[in-house]
A and B are shown apart, each in its own frame.
Chain A
Amino acid sequence: QITLKESGPTLVKPTQTLTLTCTFSGFALSTRGVGVGWIRQPPGKALEWLALIYWDDDKRYSPSLKSRLTITKDTSKNQVVLTMTNMDPVDTSTYYCAQASLSSWSQYFHHWGQGTLVTVSS
């Protein structure tokens, strides 16, 4: 059974750095073709992909947020960490991590965490 769970602060102040941890089980991030991504959803808006880390430690970021994002993995702990700098109220969202299945022409998010709501407010 594959599970993912997001953890981190529920409230951050503007300009602060957000650090979210995704703890997963049931799969190995060292397996070829596997990745873990972060996706967010502002209240009442659509899903937005943020970042993804591949089994070989390659990383991809949303171009619009690339300067603010860092994604890392700790394979031994089965964790992926996302940091987002210079938080703003518009970053208020539910943040999801998800296991990605990755091949040359097909990349999708198979299993998702329950999500964590992060509010940015002073």
Chain B
Amino acid sequence: QSVLTQPPSVSGAPGQRVTISCTGSSSNIGAGYDVHWYQHLPGTAPKLLIYGNTNRPSGVPDRFSGSKSGTSASLAITGLQAEDEADYYCQSYDTSLSGFYVFGAGTKVAVL
């Protein structure tokens, strides 16, 4: 069971907006540690999508945005495209016995 909780799947039609939640606790997100998001396409390396809660690395479209509040964070994808169909993982730092660098269980985004 992951320390960070994500919905198993979300879906949307092309052009729509979808959001993925990432819920943590007082030992990770709630303690003030940043949340980061990765996009993972099968057979490829995970790609950093959002770092430091809201920042996009160079080359990541502005359709992707992140936010954080309290013990949770969210990734939003606006103008959903077929190429966005992938697994998305949140990640943070945890100070409990669960580990230091923790990932969510991942969310599959399906483009209908």
Contact = CB atoms under 8 A, between A and B. Distances in A.
Verify that A and B bind, or say they do not: yes
B51 A47 contact: no
Nearest to B33: A105
A15 interface: no
B46 A62 contact: no
Contact of B102 (A49, A52, A105, A110): A49
A9 B86 CA distance: 28
Instruction: Say which size band chain B's interface belongs to.
Output: 20 to 34
B75 interface: no
Contacts, number: 73
Given A64-B99, A107-B101, A114 B45 contact: yes
A45 to B, nearest CB: 8
A52 B100 contact: yes
A94 B104 CA distance: 17
Interface-central residue, A37, A39, A46, A48, by most chain B CB under 10 Å? A46
A109 B105 contact: no
A108 B101 CA distance: 8
A62 B103 CA distance: 12
B112 interface: no
B101 A46 contact: no
A37 B45 CA distance: 14
Contact of A46 (B34, B52, B57, B103): B103
Interface of A: 37, 39, 46-49, 52, 60, 62-64, 96, 98, 101, 105-115
30 contacts: A37-B101, A46-B103, A47-B46, A47-B89, A47-B91, A47-B106, A48-B103, A49-B101, A49-B103, A60-B100, A60-B101, A62-B99, A63-B98, A63-B99, A96-B45, A101-B51, A105-B32, A105-B34, A106-B34, A106-B51, A107-B101, A108-B34, A108-B52, A108-B91, A109-B36, A109-B38, A110-B51, A112-B47, A113-B45, A114-B45
